[in-house]
Amino acid sequence: MKQLVIAIDGYSSCGKSTTAKAVAAALHYAYVDTGAMYRAVTLYLLEHHISFEDLAAVEQALHTLQISFRRNRRTGRNEVFLDGTNREDDIRQMVISNSVSEVSVIPMVRHAMVAQQQRMGRKRGVVMDGRDIGTTVFPDAEVKVFMTAEVVVRAERRQEELAQNGEQVALDDIIENLRKRDHLDSTRTESPLRRAADAVLLDTTHLVIEEQVDFVLERVSAALFTPHA
C-alpha cells in the first residue's frame, strides 16, 4: 500500500501530538514530534547558559547537540533523547514553554531542524506534527490537517498535562503563555505558523481525542483510496 506523509499543524495544546501518535499507531507509521525537537534545543541552550541572541554560540550548539527519538516499550510512546539522555519530561516543563518560541524564530535553528525532519520522513510512512510541516517541511504531504481550539480550552488541557508531571501552574499564566507563543509563531519571518492552502481545518474545542483521530484517518482513507487524490 502507498506510504503517505501526514502533516498535522496547528496551535499549542490542540491535541496535535496525542492525535498524531494515535494515527501513527493505527497505520503502523513512524511518528515525529517536531515541537519536541525545538524544545530540546531550548533546553540545551538554557542548560548551557547560551544566550538566544548569541548566534555564533547557537550555531556551535547546533553542531554539538544530538536529538533522537526512542520508543519506550513500557509506555509505547516515543521519547526525546538529548545527547543520549532521556529528557522527555524535562522538555515539557513550563520554563521551556516560556522560551521555545523565541528559539524557534532563529533561522539557523529552523534550518537545522527542518533538514533533520526531512531526513526522517524521506521514506514516507510518517506522521509529523508541528507548526510548519505542511507548508515548509513537507509541502507535498498527501494529508494535511490544521488544528485549532479556543485558547481557554487549550490552557485547561495544558494545565492538566503539567499537573500530571507534578507541575502546578495557574490557568491565567498558561493562557498568557499560549497567546504569546501564538503571536510569536504566527508572526515570525522564518516558516511562520499558518494553515496551508490545501490543509483541512480541525477545530478540537469540543472534540475528544478519538474523534480527532477518526477525522484524520478519514482523510488518510480518502488519500489512499480516492482515484483523484
Binding residues: 10-18
**On the CB side of 214, how many CA atoms lie within 13 Å of its CA?**
5
Q: What are phi and psi of 215, to 5 degrees?
A: -60, -45
Distance CA 68, CA 30 (A): 13
Distance CA 118, CA 107 (A): 16
- Strand spans (E) along the chain: 5-10, 30-33, 67-71, 78-82, 85-86, 126-130, 143-148, 200-203
Burial of 119 (0-12, 13-18, 19+ CB in 10 A): exposed
Output the CA torsion 68→71→76→81 (10° steps). -40
Strands 126-130 and 85-86: unpaired
Give residues with Cβ within 8 angstroms of 190, minimum separation 6: 105, 106, 107, 110
Distance CA 115, CA 43 (A): 20
Q: What are phi and psi of 130, to 5 degrees?
A: 175, -145
Binding site members for ATP: 10-18
